[in-house]
Amino acid sequence: MSGLKENFPKSEEIFKNIGRNSLEFIEFTFGPTVRKGLKDLRHFSVPKLYFEVFGKFYPSYDVLQPSINISEPNVNDAGTKAVYKITNSKFIAKSEKFSYHFYIVAGIVEALWIREMDKPVTCNIEKFHFSENNEDSFVELSIEFK
Protein backbone atom coordinates (compact mmCIF):
# COMPACT_ATOMS: atom_id res chain seq x y z
CA MET A 1 0.00 0.00 0.00
CA SER A 2 2.90 2.36 0.56
CA GLY A 3 3.36 2.90 -3.18
CA LEU A 4 -0.22 3.90 -3.91
CA LYS A 5 0.07 7.52 -2.82
CA GLU A 6 3.36 7.94 -4.68
CA ASN A 7 2.14 6.30 -7.89
CA PHE A 8 -1.41 7.67 -7.86
CA PRO A 9 -1.19 11.20 -6.44
CA LYS A 10 -4.47 13.03 -5.94
CA SER A 11 -6.50 9.82 -6.36
CA GLU A 12 -8.23 9.84 -2.97
CA GLU A 13 -11.74 9.47 -4.38
CA ILE A 14 -10.69 6.50 -6.52
CA PHE A 15 -9.46 4.66 -3.43
CA LYS A 16 -12.60 5.59 -1.52
CA ASN A 17 -14.59 4.01 -4.38
CA ILE A 18 -12.44 0.90 -4.10
CA GLY A 19 -13.45 0.72 -0.44
CA ARG A 20 -17.14 1.20 -1.28
CA ASN A 21 -17.01 -1.50 -3.94
CA SER A 22 -15.06 -3.93 -1.77
CA LEU A 23 -17.90 -4.23 0.74
CA GLU A 24 -19.52 -6.65 -1.70
CA PHE A 25 -16.66 -9.08 -1.00
CA ILE A 26 -16.10 -8.42 2.70
CA GLU A 27 -18.00 -10.87 4.84
CA PHE A 28 -18.59 -8.79 7.90
CA THR A 29 -21.57 -7.02 9.23
CA PHE A 30 -22.80 -5.81 12.55
CA GLY A 31 -23.48 -8.60 15.02
CA PRO A 32 -27.13 -9.46 15.76
CA THR A 33 -27.25 -7.37 18.94
CA VAL A 34 -25.77 -4.27 17.32
CA ARG A 35 -27.87 -4.77 14.19
CA LYS A 36 -31.08 -4.95 16.28
CA GLY A 37 -30.06 -1.85 18.23
CA LEU A 38 -29.32 0.07 15.05
CA LYS A 39 -32.56 -1.09 13.46
CA ASP A 40 -34.40 0.32 16.46
CA LEU A 41 -32.50 3.61 16.02
CA ARG A 42 -33.71 3.99 12.43
CA HIS A 43 -36.93 5.45 13.78
CA PHE A 44 -35.09 8.32 15.45
CA SER A 45 -34.23 11.38 13.40
CA VAL A 46 -31.28 12.25 15.66
CA PRO A 47 -28.06 10.99 14.06
CA LYS A 48 -26.10 11.69 17.27
CA LEU A 49 -27.13 8.25 18.49
CA TYR A 50 -25.58 6.67 15.41
CA PHE A 51 -22.41 8.67 15.91
CA GLU A 52 -22.00 7.37 19.44
CA VAL A 53 -22.46 3.78 18.26
CA PHE A 54 -19.82 4.16 15.51
CA GLY A 55 -16.92 4.51 17.93
CA LYS A 56 -17.96 1.29 19.64
CA PHE A 57 -18.02 -0.98 16.58
CA TYR A 58 -15.30 0.54 14.37
CA PRO A 59 -12.23 -0.98 16.08
CA SER A 60 -13.74 -4.47 16.02
CA TYR A 61 -12.96 -5.18 12.36
CA ASP A 62 -9.46 -6.49 11.58
CA VAL A 63 -9.53 -4.98 8.09
CA LEU A 64 -9.86 -1.55 9.67
CA GLN A 65 -7.02 -2.18 12.17
CA PRO A 66 -8.44 -3.03 15.60
CA SER A 67 -5.55 -1.61 17.66
CA ILE A 68 -6.46 1.99 16.86
CA ASN A 69 -7.84 4.50 19.32
CA ILE A 70 -10.91 6.42 18.29
CA SER A 71 -12.12 9.55 20.04
CA GLU A 72 -15.61 10.40 21.12
CA PRO A 73 -17.44 12.07 18.23
CA ASN A 74 -17.24 15.82 17.77
CA VAL A 75 -20.79 16.43 16.50
CA ASN A 76 -21.72 19.62 14.63
CA ASP A 77 -24.46 21.92 15.96
CA ALA A 78 -27.01 20.56 13.49
CA GLY A 79 -26.30 17.04 14.77
CA THR A 80 -25.78 15.72 11.25
CA LYS A 81 -22.01 15.33 11.10
CA ALA A 82 -19.45 13.81 13.46
CA VAL A 83 -15.67 13.92 13.29
CA TYR A 84 -13.55 11.25 14.97
CA LYS A 85 -9.83 11.47 15.68
CA ILE A 86 -8.07 8.17 15.03
CA THR A 87 -4.71 7.60 16.71
CA ASN A 88 -2.35 4.69 17.39
CA SER A 89 -2.35 3.53 13.79
CA LYS A 90 0.66 2.09 12.05
CA PHE A 91 -0.78 3.53 8.84
CA ILE A 92 -0.26 7.15 9.90
CA ALA A 93 3.06 6.84 11.70
CA LYS A 94 5.79 9.16 10.38
CA SER A 95 4.63 9.64 6.77
CA GLU A 96 1.73 9.77 4.36
CA LYS A 97 2.84 6.66 2.47
CA PHE A 98 -0.12 4.64 3.80
CA SER A 99 -2.72 7.43 3.81
CA TYR A 100 -4.78 5.78 1.06
CA HIS A 101 -5.56 3.00 3.52
CA PHE A 102 -7.91 5.45 5.25
CA TYR A 103 -9.62 6.44 2.00
CA ILE A 104 -10.35 2.77 1.39
CA VAL A 105 -11.60 2.51 4.99
CA ALA A 106 -13.81 5.60 4.47
CA GLY A 107 -15.39 3.92 1.45
CA ILE A 108 -15.97 0.69 3.39
CA VAL A 109 -17.47 2.55 6.37
CA GLU A 110 -19.71 4.63 4.10
CA ALA A 111 -21.00 1.60 2.19
CA LEU A 112 -21.48 -0.36 5.42
CA TRP A 113 -23.54 2.40 7.03
CA ILE A 114 -25.66 2.86 3.92
CA ARG A 115 -26.27 -0.89 3.76
CA GLU A 116 -27.00 -1.34 7.45
CA MET A 117 -28.85 1.91 8.17
CA ASP A 118 -30.60 2.41 4.85
CA LYS A 119 -29.88 6.14 5.03
CA PRO A 120 -27.74 8.37 2.80
CA VAL A 121 -24.35 8.85 4.47
CA THR A 122 -20.95 10.19 3.46
CA CYS A 123 -17.71 9.28 5.16
CA ASN A 124 -14.68 11.48 4.48
CA ILE A 125 -11.12 12.01 5.56
CA GLU A 126 -11.01 15.50 7.02
CA LYS A 127 -7.38 15.81 8.07
CA PHE A 128 -4.10 13.95 8.48
CA HIS A 129 -1.30 14.83 10.86
CA PHE A 130 1.92 12.88 10.45
CA SER A 131 4.61 13.01 13.10
CA GLU A 132 7.89 11.28 13.86
CA ASN A 133 6.32 10.48 17.22
CA ASN A 134 3.55 7.95 16.52
CA GLU A 135 1.51 9.13 19.52
CA ASP A 136 1.16 12.56 17.88
CA SER A 137 0.04 11.25 14.48
CA PHE A 138 -3.67 11.16 13.71
CA VAL A 139 -6.35 11.15 11.04
CA GLU A 140 -9.75 12.79 11.36
CA LEU A 141 -12.60 10.85 9.76
CA SER A 142 -16.11 12.24 9.42
CA ILE A 143 -19.52 10.68 8.95
CA GLU A 144 -22.37 12.87 7.76
CA PHE A 145 -26.04 12.06 7.32
CA LYS A 146 -27.72 13.80 4.38
Q: Stretch 103-130: mean pLDDT, rounded?
A: 88
pLDDT tens digits, 58-116: 544 444 555 778 888 898 988 889 999 988 887 787 778 888 888 988 998 888 888 87
List 142's β-bridge partners, or say none: 83, 124
Catalogue the E-assigned strands of the chain: 69-70, 74-75, 81-87, 121-129, 138-145
Please tell me the CATH code under which domain 2-145 is placed: 3.30.1380
Domain boundaries, the chain: 2-145
Q: State the pTM of this model.
A: 0.76
pLDDT recorded at residue 70: 84
Q: Stretch 124-138: mean pLDDT, rounded?
A: 89
> Residue 18 pLDDT > 70, yes or no?
yes
List 127's β-bridge partners, or say none: 140
